[in-house]
């Protein structure tokens, strides 16, 4: 069952998706890796709890990231893999990747833009054995990334995360496609999987090795994971269900809000990043829709594509407020099947359940 991912081997076909800000840090990632999966730390503003974050957000986050990668690796005890999720759109993208690689991370997973720079950044840290993976939402993006990585660095992805339109957080689809998906008419993840596998086929042949694809976004359980694996996926990435675990790094407030959320509370928001996103329809989201949200008064410059003080709200502040369980001011990212998450559990219980369902469905 083990999947080869570059120079690493993953014993269970389960990835925990990166969740910013502060939702998946060392504790959650370390717990998932300790069970044999891939646990992922989100680099997005990951130092927001540091005392000097207000003064030096970049320095505080890089210092925290180094510590978190090392701590997650300790928690993992050599069992699974510890990854970081670095969004291309973040201002300190390159430094975050370098820091994680130097700290000994096992994989870098990168989306929210095309991670064309990633293999060149990895080449700057030759001692790193990290597997490199883009997050894509189409075969076209997968093909372009392979072409550029091959041309510039003679390298192709060690694995790919295919994120469909039912995922939480930012979505790699048009606002129309995101709204359609929310209305129950999503672009089929099975079809996207075939597109991506076809786009990767010439590169698999040329490099004579597999490029495992993990599907993400609304994968409900181990039985669905088994179905996608029959269709050629190497496994699945889950995120929302890991929020309601004891080990998740979010506050108890966030976890309770998620546990109480129903399917009809989910909506598509327009993020200041310029992409649609899936979140709960919280008071902040309603104020933004109705034009009643005051514009941000300060900016830490976290995202390259953000219109800064002209944005209808500060996404960093809104995600940090959510982390803290502040229902009035928070932006609560979640996947489309948040309504099914209704009991608090542990990472071990979640992973055992997925694997039991997977075995029963094979």
Ligand X SMILES: Cc1cc2nc3c(=O)[nH]c(=O)nc-3n(C[C@H](O)[C@H](O)[C@H](O)COP(=O)(O)O)c2cc1C
Residues that bind ligand X (CB under 6 A): 17-20, 23, 42, 44, 85, 87, 111-112, 135, 163, 166-169, 216-219, 237-240, 333-335, 337
Distance in angstroms between the alpha carbons of the first and the last residue of the chain: 13
190, burial (CB in 10 Å: exposed 0-12, middle 13-18, buried 19+): middle
**What does the alpha-carbon distance between residue 14 and residue 36 come to, in Å, rounded to a whole number?**
8
Query: Are the C-beta atoms of 18 and 85 separated by less than 8 Å?
Result: yes
Query: Are the C-beta atoms of 244 and 32 separated by less than 8 Å?
Result: no
**What does the alpha-carbon distance between residue 93 and residue 44 come to, in Å, rounded to a whole number?**
9
DSSP-based three-state secondary structure for 88: coil
DSSP-based three-state secondary structure for 321: helix
Extract the tokens encoding 301: 């410059």
Query: Are the C-beta atoms of 102 and 84 separated by less than 8 Å?
Result: no
Beta pairing partners, 268? 278
Helix axes 222-230, 189-207, angle to 10 degrees: 50
What are the backbone dihedrals phi and psi of residue 169, each rounded to the nearest 5 degrees, phi first?
Answer: 75, -155
Closest CA to 90 of 271, 343, 358: 271
220's CB contacts (< 8 A; 6+ apart) are 337, 340
294's CB contacts (< 8 A; 6+ apart) are none
């Amino acid at each position: 069952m083990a999947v080869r991912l570059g120079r690493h081997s993953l014993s269970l076909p389960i990835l925990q998706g990166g969740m910013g800000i502060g939702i998946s840090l060392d504790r959650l990632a370390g717990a998932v890796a300790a069970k044999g999966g891939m646990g992922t730390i989100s680099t997005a503003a990951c130092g927001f709890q540091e005392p000097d974050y207000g003064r030096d957000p970049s320095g505080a986050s890089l210092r925290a990231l180094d510590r978190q990668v090392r701590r997650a690796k300790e928690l993992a005890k050599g069992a699974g893999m510890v990854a970081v999720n670095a969004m291309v759109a973040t201002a300190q993208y390159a430094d975050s990747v370098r820091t994680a690689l130097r700290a000994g991370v096992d994989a870098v997973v990168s989306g929210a833009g095309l991670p064309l720079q990633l293999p060149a950044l990895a080449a700057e840290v030759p001692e790193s054995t990290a597997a490199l993976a883009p997050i894509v939402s189409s075969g076209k993006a997968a093909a372009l990334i392979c072409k550029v990585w091959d041309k510039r660095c003679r390298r192709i992805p060690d694995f790919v995360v295919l994120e469909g339109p039912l995922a939480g957080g930012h979505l790699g689809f048009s606002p129309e496609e995101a709204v359609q998906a929310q209305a129950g008419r999503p672009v089929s993840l099975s079809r996207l999987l075939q597109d991506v596998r076809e786009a990767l086929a010439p590169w698999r042949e040329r490099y004579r090795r597999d490029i495992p694809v993990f599907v993400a976004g609304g994968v409900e359980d181990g039985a669905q994971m088994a179905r996608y694996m029959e269709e050629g996926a190497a496994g699945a990435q889950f995120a929302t269900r890991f929020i309601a675990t004891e080990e998740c790094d979010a506050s108890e407030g966030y976890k309770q809000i998620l546990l109480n959320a129903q399917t009809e509370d989910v909506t598509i928001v327009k993020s200041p990043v310029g992409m649609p996103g899936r979140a709960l329809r919280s008071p902040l989201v309603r104020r933004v829709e109705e034009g009643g949200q005051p514009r941000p008064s300060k900016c830490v410059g976290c995202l390259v594509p953000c219109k800064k003080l002209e944005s209808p709200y500060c996404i960093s502040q809104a995600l940090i407020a959510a982390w803290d369980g502040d229902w009035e001011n928070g932006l609560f990212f979640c996947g489309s099947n948040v309504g099914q998450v209704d009991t608090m559990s542990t990472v071990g219980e979640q992973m055992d359940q997925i694997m039991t369902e997977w075995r029963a469905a094979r």
